[in-house]
C-alpha cells in the first residue's frame, strides 16, 4: 500500500490503478472512500474482502457528472423524475446519495442483488478528478473495516485497511465528517434511509415532506440501518448525566456542557480524555470532528467512552444516528 499526497500525478496514477481493477482510497467531502471500478466484478469483490464487509451490504456508486447517471440508473422505471431532477440540480455535487432503479449492466455485487442502485456525485476536487480520469463510475464504501469508525483522514484509512489497499490518496481531513444522506427515490414516497451530510430540512425545502426511516434492522434490504455500526473498539455510551470516572473518556457536544460537568465533579479525569465536538456548539464543526475525536478517544486507554448527544436538528440528526449505532454493541 502506498499513501500519497493527492497531487495531479498521484491522481492519474490512482486512476490507472482503478482501470486495472485495483483498489484506491480517496477523500470525499464526507469521509474517505475505498474505490473500485463499478463495472469490474473482481474489483468489487476485493472491496468486500478488504473491508471484511458482508456482501449483503450494497455499495454507493460515485459519478462525476449527472450525464453519466443513465449508465447506472434506469430513470424510465421511475414514476416521476421530478424529484430526482430537482434534487440533483440543487444538491449535486454534494453529500446526498439517491437510491434509484438500477441498470441491468450494474454488477449484482455492487447492489447486493437489489433492483436498486445507490448513486452520488461527491463534492471534492480529488474525488471528481479521480472519477473523471478512471472509468467514470467508482463504487466506494467508506474506507474502514466493516462496522468500525469511519475514516476522515488518510491516517485513519491506513490504520484500518493497511495493505488491503493499492493506494491511499491523501487529501487532508474531510470537510463534512459524516457520511452522505441516503434518500430512496425508488419507491412511491421519498424516504431517508440514513441521515447524513445533507439535512432533511434541505431536502424538504426542495421536494416537500420526506419520511425518515428511524428503525434499526439486521435485514439486508436496508443495511445502512444496521444497529451496531460506526463503532469504536472501546465501549461507548450516550449519556445525559454521568459521574466522573477515572478510567472513562468523555466527549461533550460543547464547551458549556463540559464546563458545567466539571463544576459538578471533583474526581480527576485525564484531561486528554475530556474532549468537545465543538467549543461553540456548532453542529457543522461537531460533525467534522466526530470521527477523529472518537478515533482519538478509542486509543486513549479509557475503559469506556461517554458521549453526549447533540441537538436533534440539521446535521445533529446524522451525528446522533452515528452515536446511537456506535453505542450499540452486538
Binding positions for ligand TXA, rule: CB under 6 A: 28, 30-31, 33, 57-60, 95, 97, 99, 111, 114, 116-118, 122, 140-142, 179-180, 182, 193, 222-224
Q: Pick what 315 binds: Mg ion, ligand TXA, none; C-beta below 5 to 8 Å, kind-dependent.
A: none
- Residue 121: name the closest of 57, 170, 61 by CA: 61
Task: Establish if 28 lies at the interface with Mg ion (CB under 5 A).
Answer: no
Nearer to ligand TXA, 31 or 297 (CB): 31
Query: Contact 59/37 with Cβ under 8 angstroms?
Result: no
Task: Establish if 317 lies at the interface with Mg ion (CB under 5 A).
Answer: no
Q: Pick what 232 binds: Mg ion, ligand TXA, none; C-beta below 5 to 8 Å, kind-dependent.
A: none
- Residue 51: name the closest of 73, 72, 35 by CA: 35
Nearer to ligand TXA, 59 or 161 (CB): 59
Sequence-ordered alpha helix ranges (H) in the chain: 8-19, 41-51, 69-72, 82-91, 108-111, 125-133, 154-161, 200-207, 255-264, 283-298, 316-327
Nearest-approach distance from CB 28 to ligand TXA, in angstroms: 5
Query: Contact 292/301 with Cβ under 8 angstroms?
Result: no
Q: Pick what 193 binds: ligand TXA, Mg ion, none; C-beta below 5 to 8 Å, kind-dependent.
A: ligand TXA
Give the torsion through C-alpha atoms of 309, 315, 317, 319, to 10 deg. -50
Stretch that binds Mg ion, among 138-146, 151-159, 247-255, 298-306 (CB under 5 A): 138-146
Helices 283-298 and 154-161: crossing angle in degrees, nearest 10, is 40
Nearest-approach distance from CB 139 to ligand TXA, in angstroms: 9
Q: What are phi and psi of 142, to 5 degrees?
A: -65, 145
- Out of 30, 142, 180, 199, the only residue in the binding site for Mg ion (CB under 5 A) is 142
Nearer to Mg ion, 74 or 184 (CB): 184
Amino acid at each position: 500500500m502506498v499513501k500519497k499526497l493527492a497531487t495531479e500525478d498521484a491522481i492519474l496514477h490512482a486512476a490507472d490503478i482503478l482501470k486495472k481493477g485495483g483498489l484506491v482510497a480517496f477523500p470525499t467531502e464526507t469521509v474517505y472512500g475505498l474505490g473500485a471500478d463499478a463495472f469490474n466484478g473482481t474489483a468489487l469483490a476485493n472491496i468486500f474482502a478488504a473491508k471484511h464487509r458482508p456482501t449483503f451490504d450494497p455499495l454507493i456508486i460515485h459519478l462525476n457528472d449527472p450525464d453519466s447517471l443513465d449508465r447506472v440508473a434506469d430513470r424510465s422505471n421511475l414514476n416521476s423524475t421530478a424529484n430526482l431532477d430537482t434534487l440533483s440540480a440543487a444538491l449535486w455535487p454534494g453529500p446526498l446519495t439517491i437510491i434509484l432503479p438500477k441498470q441491468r449492466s450494474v454488477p449484482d455485487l455492487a447492489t447486493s442483488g437489489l433492483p436498486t442502485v445507490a448513486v452520488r456525485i461527491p463534492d471534492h476536487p480529488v474525488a471528481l478528478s479521480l472519477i473523471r480520469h478512471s472509468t467514470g463510475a467508482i463504487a466506494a464504501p467508506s474506507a474502514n473495516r466493516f462496522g468500525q469508525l469511519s475514516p476522515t483522514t488518510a491516517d485513519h484509512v491506513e490504520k484500518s485497511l493497511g495493505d488491503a489497499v493499492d493506494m491511499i490518496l491523501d487529501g487532508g481531513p474531510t470537510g463534512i465528517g459524516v457520511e452522505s444522506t441516503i434518500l430512496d427515490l425508488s419507491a412511491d414516497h421519498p424516504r431517508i434511509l440514513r441521515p447524513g451530510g445533507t439535512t432533511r430540512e434541505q431536502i424538504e425545502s426542495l421536494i416537500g415532506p420526506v419520511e425518515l426511516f428511524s428503525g434499526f434492522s439486521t435485514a439486508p434490504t436496508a443495511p445502512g440501518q444496521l444497529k451496531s455500526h460506526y463503532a469504536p473498539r472501546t465501549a461507548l455510551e450516550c449519556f445525559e448525566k454521568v459521574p466522573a470516572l477515572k478510567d472513562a473518556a468523555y466527549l461533550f457536544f460543547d464547551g458549556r456542557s463540559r464546563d458545567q460537568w466539571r463544576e459538578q465533579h471533583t474526581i480527576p479525569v485525564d484531561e486528554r480524555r475530556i474532549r468537545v465536538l465543538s467549543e461553540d456548539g456548532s453542529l457543522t464543526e461537531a460533525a467534522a470532528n466526530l470521527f477523529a475525536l472518537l478515533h482519538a478517544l478509542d486509543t486513549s486507554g479509557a475503559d469506556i467512552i461517554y458521549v453526549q448527544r447533540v441537538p436533534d436538528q440539521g446535521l445533529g440528526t446524522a451525528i446522533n444516528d452515528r452515536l446511537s449505532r456506535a453505542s450499540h454493541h452486538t
